Amino acid sequence: MEPKKLAGEKAVDYIENNMVIGLGTGSTVYWTIRHLALRVKAGLHIKAIPTSMSTARLAEQLGIPLASFTEIDRLDLTIDGADEVSPDLNLIKGGGGALLREKIVAYASERLIIVADSSKQVASLGKFPLPVEITPFGWENTCKQVMLLGCESLTLREKDERPFVTDNGNYIADCKFGRIDSPDLLEKSLNAIPGVVENGLFVNMADQVIIGTEKGTNIVE
């Protein structure tokens, strides 16, 4: 079976009755959402906070009850994908452009489970360009400030030859830093730049990673 499908579906085993769940974004969590919908149809009672408009649409279509931070303070568990996972479970996320909502939801969760195929496991972070969400106002200058932090090359993400716009109305700069030895320091330094809204480094946030392979799943903690 497809490794992403195996990992995504396995995560549903960790969802218990009456939990509030954070639903991540991407092609691996897609399988989590589909599988969760079957459990909901069979009587599982949960509420879910989606991390993107696309996840909200999919969950709604499949009959998963949605909630928001108006009514919820803490989530029991968030299940999300990743673009890179280091041996100490630090992550690069944001390949789908949903990193801001993903980090808000993960931060409000008791546990964060990451689902991924083995191609996402890396010895050290940094091969995947780090997504940095920036405001449209002053984006040119914000990018220059990001470059001063040691970024080797930066690309403003585009869609249909226009800047890609996130669910929050912002742009994404995809930043190649080379090997990231101090993700905690880089995460804080980036977020200290005015115009940077958030970045895709998730440091000390993941509790568990479910890796899908051709043969099954491996749990990394």
Subset of residues 26 to 45 that bind ligand 5RP, contact rule: CB under 6 A: 26-28
Candidate segments 96-104, 162-170, 176-184, 206-214, binder of ligand 5RP by CB under 6 A: 96-104
- Determine, following the binding rule CB under 6 A, whether residue 95 of this chain makes contact with ligand 5RP: yes
What sign has the CA pseudo-torsion 86, 75, 191, 167? positive
Residue of 102, 104, 23 lying closest to 56 (CA atoms): 23
Of 84 and 193, which has the nearer Cβ to ligand 5RP?
Answer: 84
Of 119 and 153, which has the nearer Cβ to ligand 5RP?
Answer: 119
CB of 29: closest distance to ligand 5RP in angstroms?
6
CB of 18: closest distance to ligand 5RP in angstroms?
26
Which residues are part of a known binding site for substrate? Answer: 25-28, 80-83, 93-96, 120
Q: Which residues are catalytic?
A: 102
**What is the binding site for ligand 5RP (CB under 6 A)?**
24-28, 80-83, 93-99, 102
